[in-house]
Amino acid sequence: MKMHPTELFFYYIPSHSIDKQARAYARSVSKYVNEINIEKEHITTTGWRSILDKLKLRPKDLLNRAHPDYQNQIAGKTWDDESWLNILVKYPHLIKAPIAIKREKAVLCIKPMEILKLN
């Protein structure tokens, strides 16, 4: 697949306020923004692995541990690496912040302005 050299991939949940703010900043980083609503678009374990490699993070680093679903379904159990990837696939709404990827750089946008690190 041919990509524009300045294309930015933005993985987000439209209903989250931080995601909305980071989405606005994304347009200042690149005029080619490929928005991926992670609640609607199915991301495979391979896709998540690729994203995590770029972020240099573990799957559990992406999850909001305060969310009730995390507390009820995930907390207190032992998970292997593949299971953590499957949790991301099954519970994408637990991602704590939007993810932006431009070329080979990626950032987890805990604060909306962190997306500017991709410039």
Domain spans of the chain, in order of start: 8-118
Name, in order, each residue with C-beta under 8 angstroms of 104's C-beta and a sequence gap of 6 or more. Answer: 54
Report d(CA 112, CA 20) in Å as an integer: 8
Q: Which amino acid is at 6?
A: T
Report angle CA 110, 88, 47 to the nearest 5 degrees. 95
Residue 1 has pLDDT above 50, yes or no: no
Report d(CA 88, CA 64) in Å as an integer: 11
Quick: pLDDT tens for 41-75: 999 999 999 999 999 999 999 999 999 999 999 99
Q: What is the pLDDT of residue 119?
A: 83
Superfamily of domain 8-118: Glutaredoxin (3.40.30.10)
Do the bridges between strand 105-108 and strand 99-102 make them parallel or antiparallel, or are there none, so unpaired?
antiparallel
The whole-chain average pLDDT of the chain stands at 93
